[in-house]
Amino acid sequence: MAAEILLMGVGNVLYGDEGVGVVLVNRLKEKYTFPARLEVVDGGTLAWNLLPLLAGREHVVLVDAVAAEVGEIYRFTLHDIPSAIQYGKLSSHEWEMPELLRAMELHGDLPPTTFIAMGVSALAEVSANLQTQLSPRIEQRMEALEQVVLQTLETLGVAPLAADDGQPIAQEAGCA
């Protein structure tokens, strides 16, 4: 049986900042242990193949990159995407997550979903060279992104433990 709550990072790490969601969830898996009711997944750029992982959950938290002010952090739902960000064919995703979730919604399979996204430069603005490292500005904002994700999980009743000592963690966060 699938865990009640899914935390999934999406994006393409071969395009540096565009993979910020994947980088974050992988760091969280190294840094914390989570209760069995939470599954933490690197969704990469699997697009339609991700839908079965989302269906049937009590709640889904998606961590992604969006074309917006670089380093700005946003928390929103499918129906309240901030006007300051752009989804669309701005990344290497086959389909953007809102499109996939709208398809699930039409089919009646969409669980409550929270997006947590960091603003990055649109892929068209980035060099054609592959870049597997995060830019300095995004790297600098990773701690803040982590705190927003942990705060969101806490509101869902999920309290991660520090992997090194098994003690509950405390966090503060803010986002746009």
Query: Total structural domains in the chain?
Result: 1
In this predicted structure, the answer to whether residue 174 has a pLDDT above a threshold of 60 is no
Per-residue pLDDT, 71: 96
For residue range 70-119, list pLDDT tens digits in order. 999 999 999 999 998 876 545 555 567 888 888 888 888 889 999 999 99
Q: What is the CATH number of the domain that holds 134?
A: 3.40.50.1450
Beta bridge partners of residue 64, listed in sequence order:
117
pTM of the model: 0.86
Q: Does residue 97 belong to any structural domain of this protein?
A: yes
Q: Does residue 114 belong to any structural domain of this protein?
A: yes
| Better pLDDT: 24 or 163 | 24
Q: Does residue 175 belong to any structural domain of this protein?
A: no
**Which residue range(s) make up the domain with 157?**
5-162
11 torsion bin: left (phi>0), alpha (psi -120 to 50), beta (else): left
| Better pLDDT: 136 or 101 | 136
In this predicted structure, the answer to whether residue 150 has a pLDDT above a threshold of 90 is yes
Q: Which residues contact 52 (CB under 8 A, 6 or more apart)?
A: none
Q: Does residue 168 belong to any structural domain of this protein?
A: no
Q: Does residue 172 belong to any structural domain of this protein?
A: no
Residues 97 and 18: beta-carbon distance below 8 Å: no
Q: Does residue 75 belong to any structural domain of this protein?
A: yes
Q: Does residue 156 belong to any structural domain of this protein?
A: yes
